Structure 1
Amino acid sequence: MYEKYYGFKDRPFQLTPSPNWFYASKLHKRALAYLQYGLSQGEGFIVITGDVGTGKTTIANQLLSQLSKDEIIAKQIVTSKLEPDDLIRMIASCFNLVVTEHSKASYLDAIYNYLKRLHSQHRRALLLVDEAQNLPLASIEELRMLSNFQFNGKPLLQSFLLGQNELNAIVQAPNMEQFRQRIIASSNLSAFQLDDTKAYIQYRINQAGGETTMLQDDCFALLHRQSKGVPRKINTLMDRVLLYGYLEDKQQLTCEDIQLVIEEINQEIANVAPEQSLPSIQQPQQAISSQTTLSSTLNSVIEEKLRLLQEMDELLKKQHKALQQREDKTQ
């Protein structure tokens, strides 16, 4: 909406991760270097962790954009709470493998034969597992077992794990010692400091073809404080700021403009209806009562919406019938 107004060739703060928008902060450079180092080793695990929105997936996409398909076949999966057998099936599916029997043994055999075939072509497979903190311990152990696939002493599959900070606790579990011994490098992404927040915003504006002078210099401290230096939060906030500037016909944005947008966002959050909020932690009996009330309220809302939909449907039918009769008269 505001792209043409500011002379952007694209939205500078879109949420979808893209290699073209990769900002290499010091920590991101280090994490990417670990991934590249892991590739050069061709074995073991690389583990990249960080809070939500700190750029783990962006780094993975940046790495994938640099790979040569003539050497490495890379696939990325985003995991939910997959049990080991389901994980094996997902891995087989992401490499487009077809099995005749839907048993774990058949899937493992198909994966192994595929990896050997790549090896004979002087290529290898790379698996990036995003949101790896969702995996049960048994599924992470299954990944370790897949790393045992070898041919003539050469590992056939390498895996990179990307996950939120909870993944660190999972990896440090007492029964994960064998997995930890396979980790050749790990890195943790944290939020930006003020300097990086400013550089990140200016980089994105430049990449989109805009002028960084559109933001007064004192805006960056406020943007950093509100977003806590988390790239995804910066994107969300800046997107709203630019929309505000477009609607208010402002080519240059001030600290006061940023504050107005922040207050507007906070007001929207404060205006969320109580019945749409999750019940707070209460005593057991109070929690049950609260959940019952919430369920009753939601049911009432659903029933009301269904009633309105039925009324709209009846109205549309009447309008259609009237139009049909009018057409019949004109014929």
Structure 2
Amino acid sequence: MADTSLQSLYGLTFHPFQPDIPAHALWEPSNVGHFIARVEKLVGYGGFALLSGETGLGKSKIIQMIAERFRHRDGFIVGIMERPQSTITDFYRELGDVFDLNLAPANRYGSFRSLRLKWKSHLDQRLLRPLLLIDEAQEMPVTCLTELRLLSSEQFDSHNLLTVVLSGDARLPDLFREPALVPLGSRIRVRLVLRSYHRNELLAFLNHQLSVAGSPTLMTDDLKNVLVDHAGGNIRVLTNMATDLLEEGVSRNVSQLDEKLYIDRFTPHRSPGTRTSSKSKRP
């Protein structure tokens, strides 16, 4: 759908339900502010934070919020791993790219030492640990998670050089029950488990998205209630339905999205002559 259609028909400055919404427009659930505040404190002494929850609850957007908040700090290092499923060799190669180091993955000890020196230097200069964000962390091999734990601590595990936020779906917490990962699981200092949202929270999300995009009256109140009641507490389900309705509204050139549009779009229509019952009546 062309942005020009959204602008001319509804006055939207951007699509409110697409993944690439501007960072300033991200909706912050009520329990997320406390989690981010604890992560901000965590960079002072280092360690691990864990964000988990079912698919479609907005974990990646929360990671984006954290990244944006720290990027505005002058000289602060924020690293983002984009390939969590890497083997140990590629794991070191990506860490080198993230922290602007020319590592030789074949020289494991040299890479290990270079990363730690980089983090120590940042800590000495900023008095804060660098921050590493890993989304879809449930895909990380056990060997890489273990290596990350060893990399980020020194002085017999009494001193942390790095702050790490691990984000993943509901499988991620279960990983730390594996014997090899129990030592890492016991070191996670900050946790947030996302649950299905209540309808009032989903309504707040809808109102926020429409308002920051520039058209708070785009949907009728009845339509908003119908959408949140059919979303199953899941933001992704809600945004998918809203996107479908927005595209339908543009194609029909309607001035406002309403409940009738929802019924037309999502209610199956019977073909003419279709029986209402599978049992035929006998004469």
- Report the CA distance shift for 1:34/1:55 in structure 2 as closer, same or farther (over 3 A): farther
Aligned-pair identity in percent equals 23
Alignment of 1:6-25 (within 5 A): 6-16=10-20, 18-25=22-29
Measure the CA separation in 2 of the matches of 1:94 and 1:145: 18
Could you tell me whether the CA contact under 8 Å between 1:75 and 1:126 is conserved in 2? yes
Which of 34, 37, 40 is the matching residue for 2:38? 34
Runs of 5+ unmatched residues, structure 2: 269-283
**Structure 2 match to 1:173:** 178
Could you tell me whether the CA contact under 8 Å between 2:49 and 2:189 is conserved in 1? yes
Kindly state the Cα deviation for residue 74 of structure 1 after the two structures are TM-superposed. 0.7
**What SS does the corresponding residue of 2:77 show, helix, strand or coil?**
strand
- Report the CA distance shift for 1:8/1:101 in structure 2 as closer, same or farther (over 3 A): closer
Kindly state the Cα deviation for residue 100 of structure 1 after the two structures are TM-superposed. 5.7
- Report the CA distance shift for 1:59/1:100 in structure 2 as closer, same or farther (over 3 A): closer
The two structures, once aligned, show a CA RMSD in angstroms of 2.3
Which of 147, 151, 154 is the matching residue for 1:142? 147
Could you tell me whether the CA contact under 8 Å between 1:149 and 1:157 is conserved in 2? no
Kindly state the Cα deviation for residue 198 of structure 1 after the two structures are TM-superposed. 1.2
> Looking at both structures, which has the greater relative contact order when contacts are Cα pairs under 8 Å and sequence separation is at least 6?
2
Measure the CA separation in 1 of the matches of 2:256 and 2:22: 27
The question of 1:58 aligning with 2:61 is answered yes
Aligned residues: 261
**What SS does the corresponding residue of 2:221 show, helix, strand or coil?**
coil
* TM-score (normalised: structure 1): 0.72
* Structure richer in helix, relative to its length: 1
The question of 1:235 aligning with 2:205 is answered no
* TM-score (normalised: structure 2): 0.83
Measure the CA separation in 1 of the matches of 2:77 and 2:47: 16
Which of 166, 189, 193 is the matching residue for 1:161? 166
Deviation digits for residues 198-247 of structure 1, max 9, x if unmatched? Answer: 111111111011133x3222222321243323222322221221121122
**Structure 2 match to 1:126:** 131
Residue 24 of structure 1 aligns to which amino acid in structure 2?
A: E
**Structure 1 match to 2:271:** none
- The structure having more radius of gyration, on CA atoms, is 1
The question of 1:195 aligning with 2:200 is answered yes
Kindly state the Cα deviation for residue 59 of structure 1 after the two structures are TM-superposed. 1.1
Runs of 4+ in 1 over 6 A off after TM superposition: none
Residue 52 of structure 2 aligns to which amino acid in structure 1?
A: T
Measure the CA separation in 2 of the matches of 1:101 and 1:24: 39
Kindly state the Cα deviation for residue 149 of structure 1 after the two structures are TM-superposed. 4.1
Kindly state the Cα deviation for residue 154 of structure 1 after the two structures are TM-superposed. 4.6
Deviation digits for residues 64-89 of structure 1, max 9, x if unmatched? Answer: 22224435311111334222332122
Could you tell me whether the CA contact under 8 Å between 1:92 and 1:110 is conserved in 2? no
Which of 18, 42, 47 is the matching residue for 1:44? 47
Could you tell me whether the CA contact under 8 Å between 1:98 and 1:110 is conserved in 2? no
Which of 114, 120, 123 is the matching residue for 2:118? 114
Could you tell me whether the CA contact under 8 Å between 1:48 and 1:187 is conserved in 2? yes
Kindly state the Cα deviation for residue 48 of structure 1 after the two structures are TM-superposed. 0.4
